[in-house]
Amino acid sequence: MSEQSLIFAFLLIYMENKIIDESKQGEALIRETGNKGGKKMFLESYGCQMNFADSEIVASILIDKGYTTTTDYKEADLIFVNTCAIRENAESKVRQRLYDYKKVKKTNKKLLIGVLGCMAERLKSKFLDEEKIVDLVVGPDAYKDLPNLLEEVNEGRNAVNVVLSKDETYGDVSPVRLNSNGVSAFVSI
């Protein structure tokens, strides 16, 4: 048995009795940074554990670009909803959250709103056309392109990147850890 097969078998056994903590659904990712004057992002995750791991990658990429995190979406300059296309009621939850954000966007015209993850990949530009408040749509293999996509939005264009990649692993990105206890972390397989 190969080393990779052993690791996979161990993870299957370990995860056998684990369930997704539903109390974490929709919880904002928060990470203390030294950049107190930067733009603020509100990053909310729904769905599978992979979405929570991906949110940590997104936070890492944007913190490196000067963003800080906030738990109050009303004070954010950038709101991301990272969501799954598989989980029950995920799409209706996200659409409801988008309507909540629409109210804030009416008073904060500079607010940018994005949908991330496999639901973004599946629905592509429908979020841009139907919701009329989403500025960017980013699939799970395009997070490294976020700084470029944000630049496109800041230049007045909507941005979509949902291209799937056979090679992207984010192995060169050190994710920030959400509510880290210093012992556990997400592992990509």
The answer to whether 64 touches 36, Cβ cutoff 8 Å, is no
DSSP β-bridge partners for residue 41: 69, 78
How would residue 114 be classed by pLDDT, with cut points 50, 70 and 90? very high
Range in 20-29, 84-93, 158-167 the model is least confident about: 20-29
How would residue 19 be classed by pLDDT, with cut points 50, 70 and 90? very low
d(CA 126, CA 12): 36
Highest-pLDDT range among 8-12, 97-101, 141-145, 169-173: 97-101
Please give the average per-residue pLDDT across 18-47, as a whole number. 65
Residue 152 has pLDDT above 70, yes or no: yes
Average pLDDT value over all residues in the chain: 75
d(CA 118, CA 50): 10
pLDDT of residue 132: 78
* Residue matched to tokens 């890492």: 60
